[in-house]
Amino acid sequence: MRLPSFNYLEPITLTDALNLMEEYHGRAQPLAGGTELLPRMKLGLTHPTYLMSLKEIHELKGIKSNKNELYIGGMTSLREIFLSTLLQQKFLAISEAAGSVAAPPLRNMGTIAGNLCQDTRCFFYNQSYFWRRGLKPCFKAGGNVCYAVPGSKKCFSVYQGDLAPALIAFNAKVRIEKKGSSRIIPIEELFSGKGEKPIVIADDELLTQVIVPIPEGIYGSSYRKFRLRNALDYPLVSAAAFLAIDSEKKVKSVKVVLGAAGPAPVIVKEAEDILKGKKVEESAINEIAEAAYKRAQMVDNLGLPASYRKKMVRVFTKRAIENAFNSIK
């Protein structure tokens, strides 16, 4: 499959990149690893006039840390995040999430910023031009019908990123820059919750860094992913859990986040009320799994029926919490 034509830009510093973003008024599409954007371009789902490769900007690559925070450059490869010993020791869920993306060659190419900013997906949208030609455009394609839920008034496409749930479980933030200014927001605010335009980032902005606070005390984390094949597939359901306990094994804080359960990652807010101050017991885990089940919004637009995927929310929420607890050293 060939690519449609475009003009190629290749800045070598972040300043140059931000200048270009402003100069082209949002018509310069940033290209990170290309593993999601290029297939979308081949299907004709997006037609950028200018493609701006960020691969040569070395200041956006690498993992650093100080006493309080971990900094991951936006162009750091998923392979590097997966294999980092620091992440495997202190941020297991993030490493597991990076290691669960696609397959080794794709992890060599894909980046954390690209993974976070990936578009939502749907069986009725991520199809070839030929397939879509026979139908009126759906909400996601700028039209006003939905083929997944006929008669609905909004888009039900699903956010299937692996990294976001794990990063949200660790209360991570992202740095977003444009020419002359920079802002830091919690990752959950990156998502609009709308399938039509899921990522809230202006046309002249770049996601340049992920900042993860290093938790204090005793804690564990885990990311569990449900899919049909053990490689290559996007998650059909996923759950990330973070669990901190005190010296009496009572829960100090807990965060459970679902992936592929709606147009944005879903935070299971009930978890804190259910577990805080208590010991980790099966009944409490079941209660959180039930709350997660209720929060998951699924329709028949991915690889398996929605009813089945929704039931799997319970299973994978439990597994994530249990694994997080078992990973506490």
Asked if residue 39 binds other proteins (CB under 8 A), the reply is yes
Nearer to other proteins, 79 or 295 (CB): 79
Asked if residue 34 binds other proteins (CB under 8 A), the reply is yes
Using the rule CB under 8 A, give the single segment among 6-14, 87-95, 131-139, 243-251 that binds other proteins: 6-14
Contact 246, 265 (CB under 8 A): no
Q: How far is the CB of 161 from other proteins (least distance, A)?
A: 16
Task: Show the tokens assigned to 139.
Answer: 């909400």
Asked if residue 1 binds other proteins (CB under 8 A), the reply is yes
Asked if residue 12 binds other proteins (CB under 8 A), the reply is no
Which residue is associated with the tokens 């060599």? 108
Using the rule CB under 8 A, give the single segment among 36-44, 171-179, 201-209, 280-288 that binds other proteins: 36-44
Task: Show the tokens assigned to 145.
Answer: 């019908």
Q: How far apart are CA 122 and CA 156, in angstroms?
A: 8
Nearer to other proteins, 19 or 53 (CB): 53
Q: How far is the CB of 122 from other proteins (least distance, A)?
A: 16
Closest CA relative to residue 164, chosen from 250, 261, 229: 261
Q: Which residue type sits at 225?
A: K
Asked if residue 130 binds other proteins (CB under 8 A), the reply is no
C-alpha 55, offset from chain centre? 20
Asked if residue 240 binds other proteins (CB under 8 A), the reply is no
Q: Of residues 15, 46, 49, 108, which one binds other proteins by CB under 8 A?
A: 108
Task: Provide the Cα torsion 255, 175, 140, 304; round to 10°.
Answer: -30
Nearer to other proteins, 118 or 317 (CB): 118
Q: How far is the CB of 38 from other proteins (least distance, A)?
A: 5
- Paired sense of beta strands 50-53 and 28-31, if any: parallel
Task: Show the tokens assigned to 174.
Answer: 């992202």
Nearer to other proteins, 101 or 320 (CB): 101
Task: Show the tokens assigned to 122.
Answer: 């749907």
Query: By rule CB under 8 A, what string of x and - marks binding of each residue 206-235 to other proteins?
Result: ------------------------xxx---
Q: How far apart are CA 176 and CA 188, in angstroms?
A: 13
Other CB atoms within a 10 A radius of the CB of residue 307 amount to 10
Asked if residue 117 binds other proteins (CB under 8 A), the reply is no
Nearer to other proteins, 24 or 191 (CB): 24
195 burial via Cβ count (<10 Å: 0-12, 13-18, 19+):
buried
Q: How far apart are CA 103 and CA 142, in angstroms?
A: 32
Site for other proteins in 74-103 (CB under 8 A): 79, 102-103
Q: How far is the CB of 40 from other proteins (least distance, A)?
A: 9
Q: How far apart are CA 4 and CA 45, in angstroms?
A: 11
Asked if residue 123 binds other proteins (CB under 8 A), the reply is no
Task: Show the tokens assigned to 295.
Answer: 């929060």
Helices marked H in the chain: 14-23, 37-42, 78-83, 85-90, 92-99, 104-109, 112-116, 129-133, 163-169, 270-275, 282-295, 306-326
Q: Of residues 19, 42, 61, 304, which one binds other proteins by CB under 8 A?
A: 42
Q: Of residues 16, 22, 44, 53, which one binds other proteins by CB under 8 A?
A: 53
Helices marked H in 172-305: 270-275, 282-295
Q: How far is the CB of 146 from other proteins (least distance, A)?
A: 24
Q: How far is the CB of 204 from other proteins (least distance, A)?
A: 22
Catalog residues that contact other proteins under the rule CB under 8 A.
1-8, 10, 31, 34-35, 38-39, 42-43, 51, 53, 55, 79, 102-106, 108-109, 230-232
